[in-house]
Structure 1
């Protein structure tokens, strides 16, 4: 076997620049699928690996190992697709929309969106499931109330990601803790020192903006018309929400995510048969094909015609290609070489925090999947924390802030594609309104340079414990 070596900065810059050129040209100029761009990018990394002395068999093993690290995410995503399709068919999502029109005042709508999505995500541990159910409902209500959809999407994502990175049920929370070698509950407690202030600031921002739009005249005739369309298309009653309550309770009881969400999908099928006069075969088909209806009202059709496993396959492909590319980057030492170039500057908690956030963002940009970022960042940055004797809980917190909260900002990442597709708003349109992400990142940097809520392993025990 040839002697292998680490890549040079010149080689890294060439590969990553070509990657960005391919991604941007495919999506912005040629209108080609991002999945094809990511697949081609595999071969950029493979060529680099061969140049570094690796055998092709070794490089293929790096790809498959990288993909295997994110298989749980693929299973959950497939289950969420089935859930969305059957819950629309069963009247669960339409009922959420109907009662949202009934009870949520325009002035507090954005705040309510933030809170509802936060609670749903905390209870279920999945931002994807939250956006695909409660998020769809809030987008519909927001459009009915005349509130700009990118702003509504920002509130939905702020709530969904808040719960996703705090819930002990969340796979990203568990992964960030385990990769940093930290107990999950200790990780969540450490996150609270950052997340609670960030959430309060975000809530105040959405409240202030909400009053601006709520003070405007709301077209009540349009709201009544949309409610009428829902009641004429679906059987709307409070017991339509039982499948949602079931899933939330089961996940709160720490039942496994994938089978619980699949069971919720089955309830959606049964609700479609029992309450929406749909045949069992057609109702079951919505789990794969998604829900489809022609009401004659474009807004309603755009809102309701979605979901299904088939609709998730594009995102599944992004995750597979992203994880494979990330696996190659990890084993070839690309990000580690980049970090090593400014390792001598990582002499303070502030510099280490900022570097961790940058590495996590790069993981999303070049790995194209949140799981790539959360897996790679602790591995790359752990030595820097250990040298400064900074507690690994700080590493886990910064890795999750940088990895989870920036994942929806990258248009070609798994989260960016999924969120834009489900919410019907482009990534670059909702990005300026992801206020929880921006506030959390800013607070993390401030904490690092100010030395606030930064714990050290060589301090007395009472000062290193998070109460």
Structure 2
């Protein structure tokens, strides 16, 4: 490593950047200005610290651009999913799924069904974004019709979506975490099972218990007929409309490239809009950019059916761009490394504290780096030396890096996942956060295992 890369900021400089950013975020969000400008303002706090350390502005600018480039795949998927949702709503695909879901799913099992459906979708496709953008948004519509609190439904969607994203051997986040931790992908998945299975059981029981609350009249069942009637009046509801969803999920399961597959799904939405909804071709195509506002007379269902289109993603896009650039700058000036080194040197002395530190580092990667991939790359790099020093298996590192990075990515309002999930599901990050029960269960169980020396695989990996 070069001398420049070894140079780290002082703690007061770290606090100046991170504390200054948090102050800006609080002021701007509470004033209704939005977090975009706070993230952009954070760039200049980082520039100031970098210059005080003798860094060249050109190098810092390149670091910000590189940070944005590292998240370009997420940016393109975000726009493509926006087009897919827009055409799938106008083409009657999502409305038909909601209609038939309201016919078949009873309120008492709805939350459990949401968890299972999104889990299967994400496990087979390996993508939480694809799961939330297809099955997830449809389940949000069904939940609205059943009178479920949107934040609670979103919690079930996210629990299922992240279950498959981190456990599927075809997930890019799973592969990246294993690679960065120098662990075989299948060994990495196996190491997560002892934590994930009990956490999933706990989550399933919790959503089932809460779901039964809505089987005794808490949900307005008369509203279901009203919603179904409104949907069938505006849209031509038919079983053929479920074909695109099944086809796109099948293509993702076959590991076809996500962006072309999702774009093809958006094209099918245009075709379905023309053929089954009688829309002019130009109007159907326009919904890929901006959705046609719907008026069913029910505000909560209008909010679902008026969603989508690339234009609806532009605000989220700016947050991701500024956030990724800010994360790149923090990496360049050494803020994250300095912060974690201070924590590691002082109190990481055993498997339990190492588990906590790894998960916290992953969360810091999302909180200050604004991107799941930033967290997944930084966490193993920062923690690997300490894990080896303690004689722990690298699978403990990969497992906790996954939990700290993937499972907390949707908890940060300005991270790529937090922005995406809030925009897709129509529920703010802080509203659905308390109901991300799978994430909390996995993190707690993993920390317990660390302090009780369970499932640490102390000697196996050293031989492989």
2:373 to 368, 371, 374: 371
Q: 1:158 to 1:187 in 2, by over 3 A?
A: same
**Residue correspondence of structure 1 range 127-146 to structure 2 within 5 A:** 127-146=128-147
Q: Once the two structures are superposed, what CA deviation does each residue of 1:215-236 show, in whole Å capped at 9, x if it has no partner?
A: 2264333111111111111111
1:201 aligns with 2:202: yes
1:346 aligns with 2:348: yes
Q: Once the two structures are superposed, what CA deviation does each residue of 1:52-87 show, in whole Å capped at 9, x if it has no partner?
A: 111111111111221222111112212111111111
What is the rounded CA distance, in whole Å, between the counterparts of 1:419 and 1:228 in structure 2? 29
What is the rounded CA distance, in whole Å, between the counterparts of 2:140 and 2:4 in structure 1? 55
Q: Is the contact made by 1:198 and 1:439 (CA closer than 8 Å) also made in structure 2?
A: yes
Q: Is the contact made by 1:322 and 1:372 (CA closer than 8 Å) also made in structure 2?
A: no
Q: Is the contact made by 2:148 and 2:219 (CA closer than 8 Å) also made in structure 1?
A: no
What is the rounded CA distance, in whole Å, between the counterparts of 1:176 and 1:77 in structure 2? 22
How far off is 1:343 after superposition?
2.6
Q: 1:384 to 1:237 in 2, by over 3 A?
A: same
What is the rounded CA distance, in whole Å, between the counterparts of 1:160 and 1:122 in structure 2? 8
Q: Is the contact made by 1:124 and 1:247 (CA closer than 8 Å) also made in structure 2?
A: no
What is the rounded CA distance, in whole Å, between the counterparts of 1:166 and 1:43 in structure 2? 38
What is the rounded CA distance, in whole Å, between the counterparts of 1:186 and 1:60 in structure 2? 39
**Residue correspondence of structure 1 range 3-402 to structure 2 within 5 A:** 5-28=7-30, 30-216=31-217, 218-344=219-345, 345-402=347-404
Q: Is the contact made by 1:291 and 1:308 (CA closer than 8 Å) also made in structure 2?
A: no
What is the rounded CA distance, in whole Å, between the counterparts of 1:121 and 1:424 in structure 2? 20
Q: Once the two structures are superposed, what CA deviation does each residue of 1:78-99 show, in whole Å capped at 9, x if it has no partner?
A: 2111111111111111111111
Q: Is the contact made by 1:234 and 1:276 (CA closer than 8 Å) also made in structure 2?
A: yes
Q: Is the contact made by 2:358 and 2:379 (CA closer than 8 Å) also made in structure 1?
A: yes
Q: Is the contact made by 1:2 and 1:53 (CA closer than 8 Å) also made in structure 2?
A: no
With normalisation by structure 2, the TM-score equals 0.94
What is the rounded CA distance, in whole Å, between the counterparts of 1:307 and 1:380 in structure 2? 38
Moved more, 217-226 or 108-117: 217-226
How far off is 1:146 after superposition?
2.2
What is the rounded CA distance, in whole Å, between the counterparts of 2:304 and 2:291 in structure 1? 12
Q: 1:134 to 1:65 in 2, by over 3 A?
A: same
How far off is 1:251 after superposition?
1.0
Q: 1:78 to 1:181 in 2, by over 3 A?
A: farther
Q: Is the contact made by 2:404 and 2:443 (CA closer than 8 Å) also made in structure 1?
A: yes
Partner of 1:427: 429
Moved more, 407-416 or 256-265: 407-416
What is the rounded CA distance, in whole Å, between the counterparts of 1:71 and 1:167 in structure 2? 23
Paired residue secondary structure (1:419): helix
Moved more, 183-192 or 436-445: 183-192
What is the rounded CA distance, in whole Å, between the counterparts of 1:111 and 1:154 in structure 2? 11
Q: Is the contact made by 2:323 and 2:414 (CA closer than 8 Å) also made in structure 1?
A: no
How far off is 1:205 after superposition?
0.7
How far off is 1:244 after superposition?
0.8
How far off is 1:51 after superposition?
1.0
How many residues are treated as equivalent by the alignment? 461
Q: Is the contact made by 2:231 and 2:296 (CA closer than 8 Å) also made in structure 1?
A: no
What is the rounded CA distance, in whole Å, between the counterparts of 1:107 and 1:337 in structure 2? 49
Q: 1:210 to 1:185 in 2, by over 3 A?
A: same
Q: Is the contact made by 2:16 and 2:45 (CA closer than 8 Å) also made in structure 1?
A: no
Q: Once the two structures are superposed, what CA deviation does each residue of 1:348-381 show, in whole Å capped at 9, x if it has no partner?
A: 1111110011111111211222222222211211
How far off is 1:48 after superposition?
0.8
Aligned-residue CA RMSD (Å):
2.0
Q: 1:3 to 1:396 in 2, by over 3 A?
A: closer
Q: Once the two structures are superposed, what CA deviation does each residue of 1:401-423 show, in whole Å capped at 9, x if it has no partner?
A: 11111122222322223322332
What is the rounded CA distance, in whole Å, between the counterparts of 1:305 and 1:449 in structure 2? 49
Q: Is the contact made by 1:3 and 1:53 (CA closer than 8 Å) also made in structure 2?
A: no
Q: 1:62 to 1:312 in 2, by over 3 A?
A: same
How far off is 1:189 after superposition?
2.3
Q: Is the contact made by 1:139 and 1:152 (CA closer than 8 Å) also made in structure 2?
A: yes
What is the rounded CA distance, in whole Å, between the counterparts of 1:401 and 1:138 in structure 2? 25
How far off is 1:459 after superposition?
6.4
